[in-house]
Chains A and B, each alone.
Chain A
């Protein structure tokens, strides 16, 4: 099992948007997808996932409808709305910029100053 990492605060929404952007998912599916795409390194507190989903839907970034799951149970599926797609793109760019900046800052050596 790879080493686990806690979520950087504020990144849960971004990860949910990313997970759902790959195809409509129910809540549990989102949890599994995040574990899968992070190679099992990112831990999401299960209960906290749902308020985040509701919040994103409330903001119009996700849309939901009730359907039937693989094992024939009634389940609520989330998909990305156009607004959600835009938001994901913006937040991804923002994240990459700041990650690159932080990485560059941490790479600095004394002779470069």
Chain B
């Protein structure tokens, strides 16, 4: 086997040498044979002739030699490629349309797949990623009373069973010390926003608290300097940091002398000891970690809360573990569960613990995150859409190739007649399509690589910066190549099968066109129309659903006036400010921006409206048994006026509602209705463990997100609550965007070390909140229009070639008295069956497949009848136009001219 490969490669690579050697060898033989006959007494001329005769056809034998080396297929393939390129150059319009269609379709597939690969397939660049597990717990307790007061990262709206991935440091430490199933156990902080001061300026970055065994346990090395080790992760050790490679590149320009220098992290001085290996972006996909900090000594800098490591109540640490080889998941799970239960028994987080949670081990080789859960569905849908586009593109090109073939049928017949085999001709047609696919595919893949950096923002939510590792690895390359080859095959297969079987004589004998009705060739063409129409319908329905979703979202009543609002965020806690000093900073800033020209009013709240964030708490109302779970919104005076939320009863929060004053709250209408309407003003209720008086009722506004209706909400004076981030809102007289540079300049001058972030208009923020819906609406509409156009082109092409084939028949009919209407009908009729079948298949497909996008829609059902009807009518109308043009041409044929041609 190996000998053959080597011999074949040698022959292919040194082809010129092979050809000379071959002719030399045969020449040598002929000379010796000539000498032989000369010795027998013939003249040299006669001897040479004799030698040649004996040898037989030199060309035939030379070719047989090449075939022996396995070169024949290659030679024929080369010939086919040359022929195909020549054919394509003779019809540049066809070549351009086909290549552009394929480039678009294959490029779209490659681009979307590179996202799928980055989000769903790629593993972390760590040693043996398949051994990594993330430890999670699952509780059947639905009310949450069991873990009441315990902070954890579970989803509050999730019903039973509740799952969470965070643990107390005590639990994690116990697993690390006592588990026999894991070779290493990593207790980690969440990736958090930190204020990093470097080179004289402050930037907001992503920081993560990591244990001393983090880099060692994962098998990640340092690009420069050293990683964090066990020596760094102990109480009282000097604070150190390892930078992320990307951060090092951006901020320090890969300056190696940064090792040993200090940076400021949340106001504290930290020595840089190393830079993590390039390609390692941390363990949370979608995020690039800028700075890694040893957990034990640095924990007070990131979470300003004493005793977090010893507390049995703070469940805020993630646990990653590496399974020992040979240990089963179930074994490790059981052991970890026993350890968790022992720890919770010894140090109960809450006096009322009744039900102990179960442990779940999640595969973590692709990192620890919900990103896959969030993007998995949209990406799968996108992949299906681009696959549909590719299918249409292939069907379209197959149709075009078929039309070209029928134009060349005389050439084909001649070649069959002079001895070309049918398989050989079929291969030639397939090669032509393959050439198109390879050229189009290369362009498409190039385009996809070019635009891939622009893709992640389209999928990010709100203000998050989605960082995806899109470096093209072999999976993407292999996938794109396969798509390219499959597309080539798909385009070429049907036309290749349509190479005429036999019957050279009839084709040649027959005049260029004779009286025929539908032939099998047009049957294939019509099948292609069915495919195109059905896929177009599916895409049109999808486009309609996404556009309606976007419109529904944009027309939702928000409960506040979003135009003429400018928002930005500030987090003074990252500078170590707390209590009064923090709130004074915010008030100072507020006064400053409120004075800017063009600002009508200004206020601030903890979270911005529709920012995706909310805080909730339990509200106890006298007379009501069960606590009400309410959203808690911390605001300064003037908030309702600035946001345009009406104060219905009572008063707004005032500047005198400060730390020492009586705690007050304001409730929204929805909540007021539950606790006694307007008369609830003046009542005292218990929010968390604070007793507060209700002083007002305001209108309902959407709080956390656009998609969810307004929820029961309590507004609390900002100064009567702990320290937080602040989201400032400014109502402006003119275009709020004009104020952006002014706000930036003013604040960077007055508070240079407190960075602001997410400075933008409220409208822009809502736009980013519906970015994914907008992306789908635009993308699917674009593809659907393209698909419908291609389908129309297909219908037009099939009918046009049918008209030219049936010209004599039509001429005869007209001559015999058929009127124009009946001729038009004759041609139109041909397209009815494929279009109707295509519509039926498409509607059925859409009926089934729109279920897949049910979760991505808003305000309508996936089987929205109006959308289905609209899509079907749109396609029907376009199909009618596409069919009408050739039919009309047929009706206008002059019978005399046609019959004279016969």
Contacts and interface: CB of A to CB of B under 8 A. Distances in A.
Interface stretch (A16-24, A73-81, A88-96, A102-110): A73-81
Contacts of B2: 60
B557 interface: no
Nearest to B63: A51
Given A59-B3, A73-B28, A51 B68 contact: yes
A26 B8 CA distance: 22
A74 B28 contact: yes
Contacts of A46: 29, 33, 54-56
Contacts of B70: 58
Nearest to B28: A75
Contact of A45 (B8, B25, B28, B56): B56
Contact of B61 (A48, A59, A83): A48
B61 A60 contact: no
Interface centre among B4, B21, B68 (most CB of A within 10 A): B68
Contact of A60 (B7, B21, B25, B55): B7
Given A54-B65, A58-B68, A47 B3 contact: no
Nearest to A57: B7
Given A48-B56, A75-B28, A59 B65 contact: no
A71 B61 CA distance: 25
A97 interface: no
A46 B28 CA distance: 13
Nearest to A45: B56
Given A46-B54, A47-B56, A47-B57, A54 B69 contact: yes
Contacts of B8: 58
Given A47-B56, A47-B58, A50-B65, A28 B29 contact: yes
Contacts of A28: 28-29, 32-33
B67 interface: yes
Interface in A25-39: 26-28, 31
Contacts of B56: 45-48
A83 B65 contact: no
A31 B33 CA distance: 11
Contact of B31 (A51, A55, A58, A73): A73
Contacts of A50: 25-26, 29, 61, 64-65
A50 B28 CA distance: 12
A35 B69 CA distance: 26
A27 B28 contact: yes
Contacts of A48: 56, 61, 64
A47 B60 contact: yes
B60 A76 contact: no
B28 A51 contact: no
Contacts, number: 68
A27 B25 contact: yes
Contacts of A69: 28
Contact of A58 (B35, B60, B69): B69
A59 B1 CA distance: 8
A74 B32 CA distance: 12
A26 B32 CA distance: 11
Contacts of B21: 66, 76
Contacts of A66: 21
B65 A26 contact: no
A51 B3 contact: no
Contacts of A71: 35
Interface in B1-32: 2-4, 7-8, 21, 24-26, 28-29, 31-32
Contacts of A60: 2-4, 7
Contacts of A83: 3
A71 to B, nearest CB: 8
Interface string B808-836: 00000000000000000000000000000
A14 to B, nearest CB: 17
A38 B467 CA distance: 79
Given A28-B32, A50-B65, A51-B64, A58 B4 contact: yes
Contact of B28 (A26, A54, A58, A59): A26
Interface string B24-64: 11101101110100000000000000000011111011001
Contacts of B58: 47
A3 to B, nearest CB: 19
A47 B61 contact: yes
A104 to B, nearest CB: 36
A50 B33 CA distance: 15
Contacts of B68: 51-52, 54-55, 58
A32 to B, nearest CB: 9
B60 to A, nearest CB: 7
A62 B460 CA distance: 64
B69 A59 contact: no
A59 B4 contact: yes
Given A46-B56, A48-B56, A51-B67, A58 B7 contact: yes
Nearest to A60: B3
B5 to A, nearest CB: 10
A60 B2 CA distance: 9
Contact of A76 (B25, B35, B64): B25
A75 B29 CA distance: 9
B74 to A, nearest CB: 14
Interface in B709-764: none
Interface centre among B8, B33, B61, B67 (most CB of A within 10 A): B61
A64 to B, nearest CB: 9
A55 B71 CA distance: 12
Contacts of A55: 68
A57 B21 CA distance: 14
A63 to B, nearest CB: 10
Given A46-B29, A47-B56, A51-B68, A74 B24 contact: yes
Contacts of B31: 73
Nearest to A29: B32
A60 B55 CA distance: 26
A58 B60 CA distance: 19
Interface centre among B3, B54, B56 (most CB of A within 10 A): B3
Contacts of B64: 48, 50-51
A112 to B, nearest CB: 46
A45 B61 CA distance: 11
A97 B824 CA distance: 78
B329 to A, nearest CB: 49
Contacts of B55: 46-47
A58 B31 CA distance: 26
A31 B55 CA distance: 12
Interface centre among B4, B25, B35 (most CB of A within 10 A): B25
A74 B28 CA distance: 8
Nearest to B57: A47
Contacts of A57: 7
B776 to A, nearest CB: 56
Nearest to A31: B29
A27 B61 contact: no
Nearest to B62: A50
A27 B4 contact: no
A71 B65 CA distance: 26
Contacts of A59: 3-4
Interface centre among B4, B29, B58 (most CB of A within 10 A): B29
Nearest to A54: B68
A71 B32 CA distance: 9
18 contacts: A28-B28, A28-B33, A46-B33, A47-B55, A47-B57, A48-B61, A51-B61, A51-B64, A54-B65, A57-B7, A58-B69, A59-B4, A60-B2, A60-B3, A60-B4, A60-B7, A69-B28, A74-B28
Given A51-B67, A58-B7, 15 more contacts: A28-B28, A28-B29, A28-B32, A46-B29, A46-B55, A47-B56, A50-B61, A51-B65, A55-B68, A57-B7, A59-B3, A69-B28, A74-B24, A76-B21, A76-B25
Interface of A: 26-28, 31, 45-48, 50-52, 54-55, 57-60, 66, 69, 71, 73-76, 83
Counting from the closest, the 9 A-B pairs by CB-CB distance are A60-B3, A47-B56, A51-B64, A54-B68, A47-B61, A55-B68, A28-B32, A54-B65, A58-B7
